[in-house]
């Protein structure tokens, strides 16, 4: 039985099939990007916008894939939210996905969504470059920048919101629902692990460099798009009915 009756397992299977095609088929990805521009009447749309559009329409992918806890969108209408407001002191901070855990007490969760071609290591940006030292590749500017961006977003949100965020209805009245902001979890979704492979297998020094970097981050957790897809595919497969042998 599907865990979420309003959405069929078949529909979710189609979603993960589209997810995989976006990862593996550059021509399909470009066609989807152009379709997004036409559908939303934008002048342009980058690669991040394609993924934001998919995850906005299918937030369950993040909900079941990022952590052992079930995550749902803070606002059912939109994942992306302003989490620190405009003021004379500075600009607003947005997060690509504002979610919360589920249980007797809820906690806010932040996610920043980049794209599948975001470089993970610096040598991906400079084809003529080499390791920083033998066997050591530093994180790319985009990856390190995304980490800093998300850390700043969470810090400013914590200062702006305080310890608890109360949900309000359309008239501005409290609904009785709230989520706590106590060292909130945060996730950066970027890149693809195939960037750490050679023609015939894993490039161990590159993989080691990347894995040590993300495992030693205090926060956020770094998740690649292929890892996100693998968890979503597992979820869909596990939800399918199985024949029981007598």
The pLDDT of residue 139: 94
Q: State how far the Cα of 145 lies from the Cα of 169, in Å rounded to an integer.
A: 35
Tokens of 7: 């959405």
The pLDDT of residue 177: 85
Q: Where are the beta strands (DSSP E) in the chain?
A: 71-73, 81-84, 93-95, 97-101, 107-113, 164-168, 174-189, 221-223
The pLDDT of residue 3: 41
Residue 235: which residues within 8 A CB-CB, separation 6 or more? 12, 64, 65
The pLDDT of residue 123: 65
The pTM (predicted TM-score) of the whole model is: 0.81
The pLDDT of residue 93: 55
Vertex 49: Cα angle to 222 and 164 (nearest 5):
55
What number of residues does the chain have?
Answer: 246
Q: Running along the chain, 246 residues long, what does each successive block of 10 average in pLDDT?
A: 44 92 96 94 90 90 74 62 47 71 87 94 60 85 95 90 84 82 92 93 94 94 94 84 54
The pLDDT of residue 7: 42
Tokens of 223: 């998740």
Strand partners, 164: 180
């Amino acid at each position: 039985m599907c865990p979420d009756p309003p959405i069929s397992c078949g529909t979710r299977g189609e979603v993960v099939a589209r997810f995989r095609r976006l990862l593996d088929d550059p021509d399909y990805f470009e066609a989807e990007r152009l379709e997004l521009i036409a559908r939303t009447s934008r002048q342009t749309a980058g690669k991040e916008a394609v993924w934001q559009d998919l995850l906005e329409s299918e937030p369950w992918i993040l909900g079941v894939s990022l952590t052992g806890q079930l995550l749902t969108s803070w606002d059912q209408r939109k994942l992306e939210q302003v989490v620190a407001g405009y003021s004379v002191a500075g600009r607003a901070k947005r997060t690509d996905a504002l979610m919360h855990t589920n249980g007797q007490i809820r906690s806010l969760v932040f996610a920043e969504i980049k794209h599948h071609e975001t470089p993970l290591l610096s040598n991906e940006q400079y084809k003529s470059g080499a390791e920083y030292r033998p066997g050591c590749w530093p994180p790319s500017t985009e990856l390190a920048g995304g980490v800093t961006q998300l850390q700043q977003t969470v810090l400013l949100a914590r200062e702006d919101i305080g310890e608890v965020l109360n949900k309000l209805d359309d008239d501005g009245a409290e609904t009785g629902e709230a989520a706590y902001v106590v060292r909130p979890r945060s996730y950066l979704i970027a890149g693809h692990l195939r960037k750490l492979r050679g023609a015939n297998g894993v490039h161990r020094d590159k993989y080691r460099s990347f894995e040590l970097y993300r495992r030693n981050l205090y926060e956020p957790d770094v998740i690649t798009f292929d890892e996100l897809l693998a968890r979503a595919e597992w979820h869909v497969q596990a939800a399918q009915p199985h024949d029981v042998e007598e």
